[in-house]
Amino acid sequence: MRYLILSLPIALAACATTGSGGRIAIDAASAGQPLAGANCVVSTNGGSWNVVPPAALPVAVNGPLHVVCSKPGYRTSELIFQPEPPYGSSMGLGVGGGGSHVGVGLGVSVPIGVGGGGYPSHVTIDLRPQ
């Protein structure tokens, strides 16, 4: 039983997740209508990608997400998203003795990420005419 209790933090740590990247859909619009022919640069601390919306690309969470779109006859637009923090808590586990015996304690704290931080799954950039 003692080994089962002591192995619990290791098992929980193996299941813990933090935010990871996913696919991000990029769209361009003007006055609420889809806008074809825009050029966008999507970048994070991990790299930069040139796309023509509508587009979807896999992006791992790595710092702020910058999306800059331009098209002749329209003003350049830029959006910056900070990744959302992962949600979760810490769990403490204690084992000890008591009564007329000498008490011995062991404390373990294991952060458990529930859900993940990340970027929005869909970004629409609004371009306004010049």
Higher pLDDT, 101 or 8: 101
User: CA angle, 21 as apex, 121 and 49 as ends, to 5°?
Assistant: 80
Number of other CB atoms surrounding residue 68 within 10 Å: 16
CB 89 within 8 A of CB 113: no
Asked if residue 98 has pLDDT above 70, the reply is no
Q: Please give the full DSSP string across 16-74, using - where no structure is assigned.
A: ------EEEEEEEEETTEE-TT-EEEEEETTEEEEE-SSEEEEE---S-EEEEEE-TTB
List pLDDT tens digits, range 67-87: 999 999 999 999 998 887 654
Q: For 6, phi and psi rounded to 5 degrees?
A: -70, -25
pTM for the model stands at 0.61
pLDDT band at 116, cuts 50/70/90?
Answer: low
Asked if residue 42 has pLDDT above 80, the reply is yes
Asked if residue 89 has pLDDT above 50, the reply is no
Q: DSSP character for 100? A: T
Average pLDDT on 102-126 reads 64
Q: Where are the domains of the chain?
A: 2-126
**Parallel/antiparallel/unpaired status of strands 65-70 and 39-44:** antiparallel
List pLDDT tens digits, range 6-29: 444 444 444 333 334 478 999 999
Asked if residue 122 has pLDDT above 50, the reply is yes
Number of other CB atoms surrounding residue 123 within 10 Å: 19
List pLDDT tens digits, range 28-37: 999 999 999 9
**Parallel/antiparallel/unpaired status of strands 122-126 and 22-30:** parallel
